Structure 1
């Protein structure tokens, strides 16, 4: 699984990095950022899904790798 944030949608609520701090961080203005290369380890997939489900703007995109 790979995660990405649509920066055009993100409003900086911070739920992503509050719910999944191993996957998301914040920039200098408080907007969410993806940590690392965006590849989600199997043991963190539930955190990624939780963060995506709780984003008010639906700015978090999850893609299954093939």
Structure 2
């Protein structure tokens, strides 16, 4: 699954630079995650970096975008040009 940012986001700006896929951007009110680019850091790190740095713990799994580890890895390969 890709991740999502909930409305508890305080716009602290720490998650955006941590994303290796540039999936996080400033939305109209809070940051948002592009599910087409989010791989939960599969291929880059062992754990999602945005979740690690978020001070308010507002980045859960996005139930609207279910994906297996294999699908996340395939997306990583495509995004990184290693496919």
TM-score interval, smaller chain = 0.5 to 0.7
TM-score, structure 1 length as denominator? 0.67
Offset of residue 18 of structure 1: 1.5
Q: Pick 1 or 2: higher relative contact order, CA cutoff 8 A, min separation 6.
A: 1
The runs of 5 or more residues in structure 2 that have no matched partner are 69-83
The runs of 5 or more residues in structure 1 that have no matched partner are none
CA RMSD of aligned residues (A): 2.9
Q: How does 1:6-25 map to 2 (within 5 A)?
A: 6-7=6-7, 9-20=8-19, 22-25=22-25
Would you identify which runs of 4 or more consecutive aligned residues in structure 1 move more than 4 Å?
Answer: 36-39
